[in-house]
């Protein structure tokens, strides 16, 4: 029971990070029907930029409290990722809006490779560790241990999701985004500046991704130029699981995937009699992805039919 | 091709054959045996690119996990022809088995996913590629199937009629190193693959693939069984991958999961995108360029040492970066590739026309 509760907690924490990244995929897909392959890399850049700022601040002003330093890192990482996503969209995706479908997907892969290798040149091949400057208090919860950091991650993620939901459902920009998702041409005729809405979508997703990047590096205690790839794939799987193009779906899918992964890694050894171990953790996301696409391609909450040529 | 040769196709053909036959000697003498090895890899990647081209170029299905089939072929070869299980089956048994196993997995993966739209297929195949790699990496316990990250070594070389390609061959005063022997073997397979791929393209199935790629609904309306035709493309491409994997294992004598990462899949995809999707000469050019350029880039390190005194940027770090830039640039400025097929060139031109027309009708609506 203790293991179950503990894995559930870990899964929920991880899942809320997946959900944040998944939001970026799902928003872009909802509007452009494009898998923004580079989104995982944007998350990675967010973590790396924040870590650089944190390292710098700790060197310049060692007396600052850890929370302030990390906050400063996040506040620099957000605009950096927003600018990055804006540039990517403008250079690599916008010129291809009327091209055959494979073209933007291939540029997306290209951008992903470029970002990964630039990050490797800038920050090196080694793991960058997240300094232990955050409070490490732990609380007992239903037989499981939960750290303050984990609580903050979950609460912050929920707040961000609620904020995004309000933005999409209640504001002018949100209405323009929904209109563009339904029909780009008609939205344009109604006076929506579609190009600006698409840019805004990318930038919003990137801002959330930056925060998620910092969260994931704080949670694991390290960051790496390659971390965006797996994270992006899993977040994309989460978005598909929930129903791509659907905000609530991305949130639900993220949380579910996190829990499935944590429980799966915790129990796979017992279930298979020791044949498979927790080193198969990364496999679950893909099995979930393939399973969902086969059994229910529109995802848990999606209405969109996947089989559209 | 110069006009004079175009009028004498037989002469051009003979010239090409002679060139291909003496190429390893020229390269070996001029640049050293290491470059003959590079040449072998060019041929191996050509084989892979021809296979992936069937899936992506002919049928228009984006497969991002192609290297998984290569891995299956390679591992099957290692299981059946190495001391690992004590089996030493001859290559003409193992290679077809590898191609069949890869084809079977292609069908297993394709059957449920091919009814999905293209970009979903891309992600599922990508996931499949990663699953295979993770399994290869971890299946050394509880019983040792793949030897985990250490990989499997001492894999038998190909031997034809008692003649092992793994040892130098002395003929008529000449010594042929294994790299040269494998060159001829790979060349034979590549020529066979080119022949098969070209005949396929012009066949009833090839036309069905083209129809499917252009417009799936129209193709279905014309009576094409889209699911089976897609499956066939997928399985065919996969078995080329399995075949190439077996050859790779025999040639290297050693395989490990590291050789089968996602980036290898993307590299092969880059080859056909760069060269020209759907066009065999383009695909061959792409494979040759993307195998040779990284090798040539190694000289960048020497160049930096000579001019700047030390290596500022490791050329192997630059390699992938340049690939990424090349992919984006190609899509933006020459989306049909360096040597596009005639059909595809027309297609891309038409696409612009359609977009312009749509734009024009929008402006009409404004006015």
pLDDT, tens digit (0-9, with 9 covering 90-100), for A78-123: 999 999 999 999 999 999 888 777 788 888 888 998 999 999 999 9
Scanning A40-79 for CB atoms below 8 A from B yields none
Q: CA of A217 to nearest chain B CA: how many angstroms apart?
A: 23
From the candidates B58, B63, B113, B120, which should be mutated to test the interface with A, based on the most A CB atoms within 10 A?
A: B120
Flag if B120 and A306 touch (Cβ within 8 Å).
yes
Per the model's pLDDT, the better-predicted residue between A167 and B90 turns out to be A167
Phi-psi region of B116 (alpha: psi -120 to 50; beta: other; left: phi over 0): beta
Do B94 and B228 share a domain, yes or no? yes
Do B113 and B209 share a domain, yes or no? yes
Distances (CA, A) of A301 to A170, A238, A249, A258, A278: 21, 12, 5, 17, 30
Distance CA B256, CA A215 (A): 34
All residues of chain A having their beta carbon less than 8 Å from the beta carbon of residue B134 are 280, 282-283
Over residues A32-89, the pLDDT tens digits come to 888 888 999 999 999 999 999 999 998 888 888 888 999 999 999 999 999 999 999 9
Do B94 and B53 share a domain, yes or no? yes
Flag if A308 and B117 touch (Cβ within 8 Å).
yes
For the ranges A140-149, B185-194, B261-270, the one whose mean pLDDT is highest? B185-194
Do B148 and B226 share a domain, yes or no? yes
Do B7 and B114 share a domain, yes or no? no
Question: CB count, 10 Å around CB of A208?
Answer: 26
Task: State which of B211, B241, B274 marks the end of a domain.
Answer: B274
- Looking at residue B118, what is its pLDDT? 65
- Looking at residue B60, what is its pLDDT? 85
Report if residue B337 sits inside a domain.
no
Torsion sign across C-alpha atoms A11, A17, A20, A26: negative
Do B77 and B99 share a domain, yes or no? yes
Do B231 and B106 share a domain, yes or no? yes
Report if residue B191 sits inside a domain.
yes
Stated as kind and residue range, the H or E segment containing B160 is strand B159-160
All residues of chain B having their beta carbon less than 8 Å from the beta carbon of residue A281 are none
- Mean pLDDT, range B186-201, rounded to an integer: 92
Do B14 and B36 share a domain, yes or no? no
CA terminus-to-terminus distance, chain A: 47
Domain count of the fold of chain B: 2
Per the model's pLDDT, the better-predicted residue between A108 and B172 turns out to be A108
Give the lowest-confidence range in A219-233, B43-57, B269-283, B300-314. Answer: B300-314
All residues of chain A having their beta carbon less than 8 Å from the beta carbon of residue B328 are 91-92, 107, 110-111, 114
Distance CA A136, CA A41 (A): 28
Do B125 and B173 share a domain, yes or no? yes
| Residue A103 touches chain B, beta carbons under 8 Å | yes
pLDDT of A304 > 60? The answer is no
- Mean pLDDT, range A271-293, rounded to an integer: 74
All residues of chain B having their beta carbon less than 8 Å from the beta carbon of residue A111 are 324, 328
| Residue A215 touches chain B, beta carbons under 8 Å | no
Torsion sign across C-alpha atoms A30, A31, A37, A43: negative
| Domain boundaries along the sequence of chain A | 19-228
Segments forming the whole domain that contains residue B255: 32-274
All residues of chain B having their beta carbon less than 8 Å from the beta carbon of residue A105 are 62, 119, 122
pLDDT of B365 > 90? The answer is no
Report if residue B232 sits inside a domain.
yes
Report if residue B350 sits inside a domain.
no
- Mean pLDDT, range B29-47, rounded to an integer: 87
- Looking at residue B61, what is its pLDDT? 86
Do B145 and B218 share a domain, yes or no? yes
Tokens of A173: 């920009």
Report if residue B283 sits inside a domain.
no
All residues of chain A having their beta carbon less than 8 Å from the beta carbon of residue B215 are 309
Do B67 and B11 share a domain, yes or no? no
Give the lowest-confidence range in A115-124, A257-266, B6-15, B86-95. Answer: B6-15
Complete DSSP assignment for A93-122: IGGGTTS-THHHHHHHHHHHHHHHHHHHHH
Do B126 and B146 share a domain, yes or no? yes
Flag if A188 and B321 touch (Cβ within 8 Å).
no
Over residues B105-139, the pLDDT tens digits come to 999 888 877 777 667 788 788 888 888 888 888 88
Per the model's pLDDT, the better-predicted residue between A172 and B306 turns out to be A172
Report if residue B280 sits inside a domain.
no
């Amino acid at each position: 029971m203790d293991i179950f509760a503990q894995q559930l907690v870990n899964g929920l924490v991880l899942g809320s990070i997946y959900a944040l990244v998944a939001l970026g995929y799902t928003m872009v897909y909802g509007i452009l029907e494009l898998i923004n392959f580079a989104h995982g890399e944007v998350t990675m850049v967010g973590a790396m930029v924040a870590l650089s700022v944190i390292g710098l601040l700790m060197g310049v002003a060692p007396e600052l409290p850890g929370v302030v330093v990390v906050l400063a890192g996040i506040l620099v990482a957000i605009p950096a990722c927003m600018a990055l996503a804006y540039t990517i969209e403008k250079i690599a995706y916008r010129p291809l809006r009327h091209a055959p479908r494979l073209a933007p997907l291939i540029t997306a892969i290209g951008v992903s490779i470029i970002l990964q290798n630039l990050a490797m040149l800038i920050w090196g091949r080694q793991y960058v560790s997240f300094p232990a400057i955050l409070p490490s208090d732990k609380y007992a919860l239903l037989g499981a241990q939960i750290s303050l950091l984990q609580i903050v991650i979950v609460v912050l993620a929920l707040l961000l999701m609620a904020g995004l939901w309000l933005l999409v459902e209640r504001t002018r920009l949100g209405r323009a985004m929904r209109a563009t998702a339904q029909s780009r041409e008609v939205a344009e005729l109604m006076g929506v500046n579609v190009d600006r809405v698409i840019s805004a979508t990318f930038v919003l997703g990137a801002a959330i991704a930056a925060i998620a990047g910092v969260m994931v590096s704080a949670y694991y205690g390290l960051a790496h130029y390659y971390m965006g790839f797996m994270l992006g794939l899993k977040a994309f799987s989460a978005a598909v699981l929930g129903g791509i193009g659907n905000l609530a779906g991305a949130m639900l899918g993220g949380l579910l995937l996190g829990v499935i992964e944590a429980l799966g890694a915790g129990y796979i050894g017992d279930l298979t009699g020791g044949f498979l171990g927790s080193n198969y953790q990364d496999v679950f996301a893909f099995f979930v992805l393939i399973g969902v696409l086969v059994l229910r391609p529109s995802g848990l909450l999606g209405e969109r039919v996947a089989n559209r040529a | 091709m110069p006009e004079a040769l175009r009028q004498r196709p037989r002469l051009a053909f003979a010239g090409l054959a002679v060139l291909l036959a003496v190429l390893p000697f020229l390269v070996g003498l001029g640049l050293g045996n290491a470059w003959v090895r590079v040449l072998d890899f060019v041929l191996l990647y050509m084989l892979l690119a021809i296979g992936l081209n069937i899936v992506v170029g002919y049928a228009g299905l984006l497969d991002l996990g192609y290297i998984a089939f290569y891995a299956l072929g390679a591992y099957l070869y290692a299981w059946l022809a190495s001391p690992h299980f004590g089996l030493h089956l001859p290559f003409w048994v193992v290679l077809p088995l590898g191609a069949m196993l890869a084809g079977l997995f292609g069908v297993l993966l394709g059957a449920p996913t091919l009814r999905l739209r293209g970009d979903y297929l891309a992600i599922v195949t990508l996931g499949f590629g990663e699953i295979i790699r993770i399994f290869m990496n971890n299946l050394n316990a509880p019983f040792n199937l793949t030897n985990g990250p250490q990989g499997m070594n001492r894999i038998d070389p190909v031997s034809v009629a008692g003649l092992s390609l793994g040892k130098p061959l002395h003929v008529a005063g000449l010594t042929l190193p294994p790299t040269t022997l494998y060159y001829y073997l790979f060349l034979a397979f590549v020529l066979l693959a080119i022949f098969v791929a070209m005949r396929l393209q012009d066949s009833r199935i090839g036309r069905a693939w083209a129809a499917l790629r252009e417009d799936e609904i129209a193709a279905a309306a014309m009576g094409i069984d889209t699911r089976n035709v897609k499956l066939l493309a997928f399985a065919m491409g996969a078995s080329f991958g399995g075949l190439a994997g077996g050859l790779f294992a025999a040639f290297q004598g050693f395989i490990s999961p590291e050789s089968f990462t996602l980036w290898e899949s993307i590299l092969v995809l880059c080859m056909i995108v760069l060269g020209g999707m759907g066009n065999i000469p383009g695909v061959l050019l792409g494979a040759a360029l993307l195998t040779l350029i990284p090798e040539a880039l190694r000289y960048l390190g020497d160049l930096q040492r000579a001019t700047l005194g030390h290596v500022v940027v490791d050329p192997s770090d630059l390699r992938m970066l340049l690939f990424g830039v090349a992919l984006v640039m190609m899509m933006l400025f020459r989306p049909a590739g360096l040597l596009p097929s005639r059909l595809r060139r027309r297609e891309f031109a038409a696409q612009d026309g359609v977009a312009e027309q749509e734009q024009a009708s929008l402006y009409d609506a404004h006015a």
